[in-house]
Amino acid sequence: MVGGAAGRRRRHRRVTGPIHLVGAGWGGEGTVWAGFLRDAAERAGGATPRVLVVSVRDLDAPEHASKLAQSLRAQGPVETVLLAVRAGERLPAEVLAGDVHGLLVGGGLMSEYLDVLAPLAGAIRALVADGVPYAGFSAGSAIAAERAIVGGWLHEGLPVVAEDVAEGLAELSVRNGLGLVPFSVDVHAAQWGTLARLVTAVEAGMVEWGVAIDEDSALVIRGDEGHVEGAGNAWWAEPAPDGVAVRRETGRGHSRAPRPLRAR
């Protein structure tokens, strides 16, 4: 369990690449990936985009990476490079070198993804700062934050979400993430009830502010603006005088985020 987010917030150079944070889900005909693939194709300058797909899972990492790659291919031409590793293994920095037109980080246990990718956080930020689009799917969205909610179902011994969505952790836990966005992220919001975990983290001062994203939905950030795509909602949470203020955002307008969306 980690508290006192304000004292641990890190400062990174401005991130400029488009960022697509998908709240998980395999429905919606994969349309949440269409914008990411367009951004990757634009980065490729007319060539077939080359996208790295990262999967960190103990039992089915290759299968998960392949399923994500299939979701991308359903939206258009793309060359996918599957980087499937087991928890605790390492990815060399060289995998991010060369012609990379997009980076997609998949789902699984958030803490395991951070264990693998935290050593590459600086290289990932540099890639995105150079204009390479980033997409997260579930865990990949959560760890994009400066302060990443990595799981837990209890806070000070009291339940805030169901135990079966705890990501293998007991107490609500927050770690330094990749630093691509200044707000914290939880996922599977409507489906798993994780908005309650985000609200608890904000109220307890463990994170400054954040968003919980539904499945089959994406929060897309370009510049200092963002919007929701897909079938569901994004739920923004920030401190308020009498607790925590929550705003629901759908795909029908510009972001209702309470603060600037870019890491600075």
pLDDT per position in the chain (264 positions), as tens? 333 333 345 555 456 789 999 999 998 767 899 999 999 999 999 899 999 999 999 999 999 999 999 999 999 999 999 999 999 899 999 999 999 999 999 999 999 999 999 999 999 999 999 999 999 999 999 999 999 999 999 999 999 999 999 999 999 999 999 999 999 999 999 999 999 999 999 999 999 999 999 999 999 998 888 899 999 999 999 999 999 999 999 986 555 566 656 555
- Coil, helix or strand for 93? helix
- In this prediction, residue 263 carries a pLDDT of 56
CATH value at residue 194:
3.40.50.880
Classify residue 110: in a domain, yes or no.
Answer: yes
- For residue 213, being part of any structural domain is answered with yes
Q: Rounded to whole angstroms, how far apart are CA atoms 191 and 187?
A: 9
- For residue 152, being part of any structural domain is answered with no
In a domain, 151, yes or no: no
Report the 10 Å Cβ neighbour count for 70: 11
Q: How far apart are CA 38 and CA 222, in angstroms?
A: 13
Residue 133 within any structural domain of the chain = yes
Tokens 């955002």, residue located: 249
Q: Give the pLDDT of residue 258.
A: 61
pLDDT at 224: 80
What single string gives the DSSP state of each residue in 96-161? G-SS--EEEE--S-HHHHHHHHGGGHHHHHHHHHTT--EEEETHHHHTTBSEEEEE-SEETTEESS
Determine the residue type at 187: V
pLDDT of residue 86: 94
Q: How far apart are CA 200 and CA 207, in angstroms?
A: 9
Query: Is residue 21 included in any domain, yes or no?
Result: yes
| 67 lies in some domain | yes
Residue 153's pLDDT is 98
What's the structural domain count of the chain? 1
Alpha helices in the chain (DSSP H): 5-8, 34-44, 61-73, 110-117, 121-129, 139-142, 189-192, 195-203
Type and span of the H or E element at 193: none
CA–CA separation, 83 and 186 (whole Å): 24
| CB contact at 8 A, 224 and 15 | no
In a domain, residue 106? The reply is yes
Q: Residue 67: which domain range?
A: 13-146+174-249
